[in-house]
Amino acid sequence: MEKSVKELVEIAKNFIDERDWRQFQTSKDLAEDISVEANELLELFLWKDGKELDKKTREDKEFLQKIKNETADVLFGCLAISDHLNFDLEEAFLSKIKQLEKRYSVEEVKGKSIKIDEEEWLKKNKDSV
Ligand SMILES: [Mg+2]
């Protein structure tokens, strides 16, 4: 049942077109959808202890299913916006990973929990990106 990213985009596209929903979707709507779905995922964790939640995800299949559903909703939004704006999501992801590999080099960050501001990093490294 393995599917490529392009095949997943096609599945999302067909789902939308079969329902004639494209008429209701702008890039703004789809970006909002991604954010709303990400927050539905986050809501599952709201006000709960992180370590207890990790345990719960291993032991509570119903809870894990809710996480899967919301994660899939986020992915659906990402697939839909890439189709709507006609960009290659796989290429965008791989390009972003390449940039992240430079921004967070293994030598500099291995075992460290750090945040490197993207805008500042891009300014300093504009010639190497
Ligand atoms: Mg949802």
pLDDT at residue 23 is higher than 80 = yes
What percent of the chain has a predicted confidence (pLDDT) above 90?
94
CA of 23 to the centre of ligand 1 (A): 21
Residues 32 and 59 in one domain: yes
CA of 69 to the centre of ligand 1 (A): 7
pLDDT of residue 128: 73
Residues 48 and 83 in one domain: yes
CA of 107 to the centre of ligand 1 (A): 38
Residues 10 and 27 in one domain: yes
Residues 104 and 68 in one domain: no
CA of 92 to the centre of ligand 1 (A): 24
Q: Which residues of 29-44 are buried (b: 16+ CB within 10 A; e: fewer)?
A: ebeebbeebeeebeee
CA of 21 to the centre of ligand 1 (A): 17
pLDDT of residue 1: 82
Residue 55: domain span: 1-87
| pTM assigned to the model | 0.89
Residues 35 and 20 in one domain: yes
Residues 101 and 123 in one domain: yes
**Mean pLDDT to the nearest integer, 61-84:** 98
Q: Please write the tens of the pLDDT for every residue from 44-54.
A: 999 999 999 99
